[in-house]
Chains A and B, each alone.
Chain A
Amino acid sequence: MTFFAPEMLLLLWLIPPVILFLLFMRRKSIDADYPFVRIFSSKSMKRSSLKSFIMKIIRIILLSASLASAVMYSAKPSLKGDKTEYLVIFIDRTPLMRIEADRFNSIIDSLKSCSPSENTIAFVNEKRVSLPVKEKNLPSRELREKERVAEFIGRKIFSLRSKSVKSVLLTDRIFERFNLETDIISMREIPRVMITGISRGATLFSRDETAAEVRFTDENGREKKSAVMLSKGENRIPSPFSLISRIDCFYDTLIFDSPVFSAASSVNDRTGSAFVKGLLRALEIEENDTSSVEISYDASCKRGIVFSRENQAAKEKSPLFSVLEGYDAITNDMNRNLEYSLLAEIPGEAVIMTKRGEKILSRQGDVFYFAFSPDTSASNLVLLPSFVSLSERIFNEIFSLKEAHSDSRLEYRRELTESFNGVKNDYSPAKLKDVSFVFLFVSALLLIILIFI
C-alpha cells in the first residue's frame, strides 16, 4: 500500500495514549451520595459490572479503530492498479495552433487509450474544460509566457496530491529547458509562409520554394507591395519604409500597435578593427562610409559606438552589473570571462559598471561608449560571446528596433521554425488506485456503531 500523504500516519502515534486514557479514565472519581446502594450490590449487578467492563473494552476498540481508519483515510492510501489515477492534459493553445475541438477530442481519446486512467482532466490555456471538448468552451488563442505555462502545470499536478499522475502537454513551442515531469507532444501547424522578423527589413520563413506577395504599410497607412520568390527557409525582404505598422504576406499578417523601425541599416566603421568587421558581418550590417552611424574612437561622434584608446591601468577587478534590465545574461558572461588590464574613463550614464563604480559601458544620447579598445592586448572584450549580443542590443537601440525586435510574437514565430519533435519523459507515474474511501467508510461505520451501542 502506498500513501500519498504519509506524514499523516504520524497521527497514529496518538492512538495508544488515547487508548490508555480511555482505559484508565474513571467516569467521575468523586463519590456521590445515594439514598440506598444496597440494590446495586446484587449478583446480577456484579454480572453487569463484568458486562460493563467488556462493553468499555469494546467501545475503546471501536473508537481506536475508527480513529485509526480516519488517520489512514487522511494519509490517502492507494493500492497498485492497472490504471493511473489521473491523466492530466494541458493544451497550450497558441495563436498559430489552428486545431479545433474535434481534433482535440480525438487526440485526448488516443491519449486515454494509451494511458488508461481513472480520471482525465484537461486544461486549455489554464482553463479547465469538460470532456469531450466543445468549440464554444475553448478559450481563445493566447501566447502565454513559457514560465507561466510551466508554473501552472507544476501547480496543478501538485494540487492533485497524487503520485499516480500522468501529464501531457500539447504545444507547438519548445519547452526543453523546463524540467517538467510531463510528456510534451509537439503539434505544429505553421503557415506556409510566416513572418519571423522585421529587423532591417522583413524576414519571411517559407516551408518550401514559393512565390509570395509582401505588402508593407507605413505609419500613415501607405502601402507598398512587392512580389518575391521565396526559397525554402529564411528570406530577408528589404522594407520600402523606415517605419512600418503592418506586414502582410498572404499566408501571414503582423500588425504592430505602434510603428516600428525596419529600414536596412548601415554603419561607418572608422576603427578598422578586424573584430569590428567580423561583428558587422555576424549582425548582417552593411559598412557604408556615408552612414550617420559611426564606430570610432572619436568621442565627438553623434550616433554610434565609441571605443576608448587612452586607457589607464585598471585597478583590481570588481564584479559587473547592469543598471538597465535585460542585460543579466551579458553581465553574467562578462563576469565569468572578461579580462582587462586597461580601463578608460568614459562619459555618459553607465549601462554596465563595476561594483567599485567604474563604468564599462555608458550611453550619452545615441552614442554608446566602451571603456576598452577593440585591441585584445588590453582586454578580451571583443572575443567574448556576449560581445555580439551586446553589440546587437546596442545597434537595436541605435536603430530604434528594440521594441520590434523583442516582440514576443516574433520570438514565438522564430521558435516555430526550429525543429522540435516532442519529448516523452523518462518519468512514468506509478499506477495506483485510491482506496482512501474504504477507510472513510469504515471509520464512519465504526463511529455509528459506537454511538448506538
Chain B
Amino acid sequence: MRKNEIDFREIPDLFLRSRLILKGYLSGIHEVPYKGSSAEFSQYREYVLGDDFSKLDWKAYLRSGKYYVKESDDETNAGMLFLLDSSASMKFAGKFEYAKTLVFLFAYVCAKQNDIFSYAIFSDSLKAYRKTGTGRSAIFEAARDIASAEALGGTEMLKSLEKVFEKTKESSFVFLITDMGDDEEGIIDAMAGMRVRRHDSIIFRLSSRREESRELLDRASLRDVETGAISQGGGYSERMDAINERNGRIEREALSRGIDYNHVYIEDGFDSPLSKFFSRRMK
C-alpha cells in the first residue's frame, strides 16, 4: 500500500468503502466486463437444430424469411456466486475485513448492473447462503449479511462448498475468497469440479505479509488461531521455505485445473490486485 493511499478497511461503512474503491478504479477502466441480462446486442446467426426456440427473432424472419437467432452477451446467463471464508484464520491481520470488502465490492458492481448474484458465508458450517434478486433491496440485504459476518470457528470448507454447489445449477462465476487455511487440495478439487460443470471458478487467496515476517516466523513456537495447536521447531528460513513451497504448489495446482487463481496480499490494497484481475479477464 502506498503511503498516500487510503486504507479502505478503516472505513466502517461497506457502501462507502466500495464506492470509494470503485470510484478510483472504474474511472480508470470505463468498462465492466461482466454483463447480465441487460447486456448489449451482439450478433444474428442462423438457427440451427438445438437452439432455444424462444430466441428466434420473428421480425427478422418476417423481413427475410429465414430463421435467425438473436445472440447477445447475456447468452451465457452469467450469475455471480460469492463464497466468503469466515474461519478464524481470516481474522489474522485484517484479512476478513479485506475479504468482506472484496465480496461486497463485486456484489455492488453486480447490483449496479442489475445482475443477479448470490453469496455464501461459511467457516466450519454454512452460516449464510442467499440468492438475491436485482436492484437496491438485493444489495442492502447483502450489505447487512456481509457486514454482520464474523470470522469464527474452524475451516471445513468442503462440506459447505458441496452444499452451495448443489444449489448452483446455472452457469455462474464462482468467486471463492479465502486464505486457504483448510485442505487446499480438497478446495481446488471442489472448485475444479465447478469448472467441469461450466462454472467459471475464481479463487482470491488472501495473505498478509505479516504471515511471512521474520518477527513472527522466527518465534520458537507458533499457535494456530483456529485449533490452538502449537508448532515448534524450525526458524525463519525453514518456515519461509515451507510457505513458499505451499504457495507454489497451490498456484500450480489451481492453474493446471483451469481455475483463475489470484494470490492477493492485503497490504497491496485493492487497486493493484483488481486491475490485474480485470485486465486479465478482459483479454
Which residues of A does B touch, CB under 8 Å? 26-42, 44-46, 48-49, 51-52, 55
Q: In the assembly, what is the distance between CA of A33 and CA of B181, in Å?
A: 14
Q: Which residues of A contact B25 (CB under 8 A)?
A: none
Cβ B238 vs Cβ A51 within 8 A = yes
Q: Interface residue tally of chain B, by bracket?
A: 20 to 34
Question: What number of residue pairs across chains A and B have CB atoms under 8 A from each other?
Answer: 89
Closest to A46 in B: B233
Chain B residues with Cβ below 8 Å from A55 are: 235
CB pair B219 A27 closer than 8 Å: yes
Please state if B233 and A52 are interface contacts (CB–CB under 8 Å): yes
Say which residue of A26, A40, A42 sits within 8 Å of B222 (CB atoms). Answer: A40
Q: Which chain B residue lies CB-closest to A52?
A: B235
Among A28, A37, A42, A46, contact of B229 (Cβ-Cβ < 8 Å): A37
* A45 x B223 contact (CB < 8 A): no
Residues on B lying within 8 angstroms of A by beta carbon are: 89-90, 92, 95, 179, 181, 211, 216, 218-226, 229-231, 233-235, 238-239, 241-243, 245-246
Give the residue of A28, A29, A45 whose beta carbon is less than 8 angstroms from that of B238.
A45
Known: A33-B92, A34-B231, A48-B234. Is A39-B224 also a contact (CB below 8 A)?
Answer: no
Chain B residue, CB-CB nearest to A42: B242
Report the Cα distance A33→B231, complex, angstroms: 10
Instruction: Decide if B221 touches A31 in the complex (CB within 8 Å).
Output: yes
**A32-B245 Cα distance, complex, nearest whole Å:** 22
B88 to chain A minimum Cβ distance, whole angstroms, is 8
Prevailing SS type, chain A contact patch: mixed
Q: Does the CB pair B235–A34 fall under 8 Å?
A: no
Output the least CB separation between B209 and chain A (Å): 13
Q: A34-B92, A48-B234 are in contact. List 8 more A-B contacts (CB 8 A).
A: A31-B221, A33-B223, A35-B179, A37-B231, A44-B242, A45-B239, A48-B242, A49-B238
B235 touches A31 (CB 8 A): no
CA A33 to CA B88, docked complex, whole Å: 11
Q: Are B89 and A40 in contact (CB under 8 A)?
A: no
State the CA gap A20–B45 with chains docked (Å): 83
CB–CB B233/A31 < 8 A: no
Flag if A30 contacts B224 (CB, 8 Å): no
Q: Knowing A27-B218, A49-B233 touch, does A34 contact B225 (C-beta < 8 A)?
A: yes
25 contacts between A and B (CB under 8 A): A27-B235, A28-B219, A28-B220, A29-B220, A31-B219, A31-B230, A32-B222, A33-B92, A33-B225, A34-B211, A34-B223, A35-B92, A35-B224, A36-B89, A37-B224, A37-B230, A38-B224, A38-B229, A39-B243, A44-B245, A46-B233, A48-B238, A49-B233, A51-B238, A55-B235
Assess the A30–B242 pair: CB atoms within 8 A. no
Residues of B within 8 A of A39 (CB): 242-243, 246
Contact B216–A32 (Cβ < 8 Å): yes
The 9 A-B residue pairs whose C-beta atoms are closest, nearest first, are A49-B233, A48-B238, A37-B231, A35-B89, A34-B222, A36-B181, A35-B92, A40-B231, A37-B224
Known: A29-B220, A44-B242. A36 touches B234 (CB 8 A): no
Q: Given A35-B179, A40-B239, are A52 and B222 also a contact pair (CB < 8 Å)?
A: no
Chain B nearest CB from A32 CB (Å) reads 4
Q: How distant is B215 from chain A, measured CB to nearest CB, in Å?
A: 8
The smallest C-beta distance from B1 to any residue of chain A, in angstroms, reads 20
